[in-house]
Amino acid sequence: MKLRMLGDSLRLRLSMSETQMIGAGRSVIENTTFPDGSVMSYVLSVEGDRVSAGIALNQGQHQLSIKVPLKLAERWSHSTDVGLGGGERLNVDGLQILIEKDFDCVSPRSGDEDIDTFPNPSLTNC
């Protein structure tokens, strides 16, 4: 899962296997360890019937938690929709959240950026 932040907006990009996990009601967790040893985790989980977001701080560990309804996650994981909830950003008290499927890059890059990504629709006609 990739995280992009800009101002009051968050964008999460999920690989194919992560999208399947969310559709099956399982959480996706990613950790970033900083040079001072502190850890930031971001978690996308499925529960309840509304979208929520929050952050917790525990002994040098920050955790960003986003929760989405199971029915919405199930439907999205089996659809051709790019973004969860259609193309609309999800609004949680002014925080804009976009959760979307991660596609292959149009221009290949070195590294593991395209591992377990969805086939890019722009490339299917090449």
Query: 41, 62 in Cβ contact below 8 A?
Result: yes
Summarize the confidence of residues 81-86 as an average pLDDT.
83
How far apart CA 98 and CA 7 sit, in angstroms, is 13
Q: How far, CA to CA in Å, does 78 sit from each of 4, 20, 49?
A: 24, 8, 19
Which residue in 57, 46, 56 sits closest to 23, CA to CA?
46
Q: What are the domain boundaries of the chain?
A: 2-106
Please tell me the predicted confidence (pLDDT) of residue 82. 85
The CATH code of the domain at 2-106 is: 3.30.1360
119 has which bridge partners? none
Q: What is the pLDDT of residue 108?
A: 60
What integer pLDDT is reported at residue 113 of this predicted model? 62
